[in-house]
Structure 1
Amino acid sequence: MCDKIKKVNSWLSTVFGDQPVPQFEVNTRTVDVLYQLAKTSEVRCSDTTVLIDDLKQKASEYQADGAHLQDVLLHSVGLSCATLSKPTADYLSALVDNAMVLGVRDSSLGSFMPALNNLTSELLEAEKSKRKFERELRALRKKIGATLVVRGNLEEDIRKTVRNQAVESAKAEERLLNMDFVTAKVKELSNRRERLEAQLASRNMDKSITHQAIAQLSEEVNALKKEIIPLKAKLKPYMDLSPNPSLAQLKIEEAKRELAALDSELDMMVDFK
C-alpha cells in the first residue's frame, strides 16, 4: 500500500509539475485507480518516447539522405537550389507536396505508382459507394413522396371524419332533444287522458254517447237505411190507399211516444254537456 502511494504521489507530481496536486480522499479504491492510471501513463509515455526516438532517427536519416543527394547533385551534376530556375523549383516543390500527400517514402516512380493505384482504387470504391447511395437516395425519395401522399390522404380523411362526426353529433343531439320533447309530450298526454278518464268516471258518463259508440251507431243507422230502401220500394204501392183511422191513431200515438223519448234523451245529453 505504501509503495503504491509513493508511486501515485510521484506520478501526480510529474503530471502537475509546478502546480499543486489537488486534494483527494486516500483510500484503497482511489489509490488502486490512480496506481493503474500511473502504470498506464508510464507505458504510454515509454511508447511515445520510443516513437519519438524512431522519428528522430528517421529524420536524421532523411536529412543525411537529403544532404547526400544535394552533394551528388552539386558535385556530379552541378545543380544546386540556387541555380535551379523558378519553374523547376516549383515542379520540385509540387513533387514533394504530392509525395507528402500520398505518404510515400520517396519521390521515385516505384513509390508513386502503388500510391496512385491505391488512390485510384479508393476513388473507384468511393464512386461505387456514391452510385449506391444515389440509388438508395432515389428509392428513399420515392418512398418519402408516397408516404407524403398517404399522409395527405389520411389528413384529408381525418378532416372529413371530424366534420362528419360533428354533423352526426349535432343530429344525435337534435334527436335526443326531440326524443325528450316527445317523451314529455307523451307523458303530458297520458296524464291528461288519465285526468279526463277520471273526470268522466266521476260524472258517470254513459258509454253509449262516446265517440266510438256514436260512430258505431252511425254505421248501424247507415246499414238500417240501406235495409229500409227495398222496404220503402215494397210499401210504395200502398202509400196511395186511405189509412185506417184506428191504426193511424195508434201510429200517431206511438210516434209521439218515440218523439218524447228522443226529446228526453236529447235533453239529458244537453244537460251532460
Structure 2
Amino acid sequence: MLDFPNAKINLGLYITEKRPDGFHNLQSCFYPVRWTDALEILPSEQEAFDMTGLPVPGNPETNLCLKAYKLLQQDFSLPPVHMHLHKVIPMGAGLGGGSADAAFTLRILNKLFELNLGGDVLENYARQLGSDCAFFVQNKPVIATERGDVFSPVELSLSGYSCVVVYPGIHITTAEAYGSIKPETPTCDMAMLLKQEVKVWREVLKNDFEAALFPKYPELPQVKEKLYEAGAAYASMTGSGSAVYGLFKGEAPESLLFPDHYTVWKGLL
C-alpha cells in the first residue's frame, strides 16, 4: 500500500511554558501542505526497511516508521512487512516530515491489516512517537496546545492561496531551538486572530522562534523579507525552523528565485 505523508506549516507559534517533564507547552495552528514524502508498506516474508531520496541521519533501525510498526506490533499480531520510504521533505526544517511518516505508517498498517482503529486510538499511538505526530492522523487544520498533541477544531480555509516554502539548507535541531527560547503566556486568542484577513496576520501572528533564531541565521529573515517583497500576504518561519513560507493570494509569482542550494516548494493550499 502506497501513501504520501505530507508536511505542515505553523500559523503562529507561541511557547507558553516549560513543563515538569522537560518539554514545552505551546499554542499554534497546524495547517497541512502538499509537500510529500512517499511511503510504501507491503506484507513480506521477513521484515525490511529501506530509504531513498534525502539522506536521513542516524541509524535506520531507529526511524520513526519502524518505531510506529513496532508500537502497533506490541498490541496486534502484525506479520512482517517491507517498508520503503522515499524522503523528500527536508529534516530540521520545522515541517513535521518525520512525524508525518510515523503517523502515515500507523494509518497504512491500520488499513492494510484491517485493524479497524478509529482516529482517536491512532492519535494515542502517534502521541507515543512524537509531539506533533498525532496531527497527521486526521491531517486537517487545528489549534494545537500542550506539547502540540492536544487539538481544538478551527474553521479555517486557505483555499485560493498558494504557499511557497523555502528551506535554506540549515538544519536546526529541536534542542537548539528550544534552548534559546523564553516561554511567555500569549496575550492574544489565536482562534480570534485566525478569523482576521490573512493580510492582517503580518502584524498580529508571530512565531516565537524567530526572535531567537533570526539573529543567529541571517538567511532566515532575508528569505522572509524576500517573500513579502514578492507580494506574500503573510510570511513566517514554520515550527522551530529553518523553513520559511509565504502565503500568496492566487498563484505565487514565477519570478521568485532563490540560491541554487536552497530547496523551494510551491503549491496550492
- TM-score (ref. length: structure 2): 0.17
Q: TM-score, normalised by structure 1?
A: 0.17
- Which fold has the larger relative contact order, with Cα–Cα distance below 8 Å and residues 6 or more apart in sequence? 2
Higher strand share: 2
Bigger helix share: 1
Larger Rg, first or second structure (1 or 2): 1
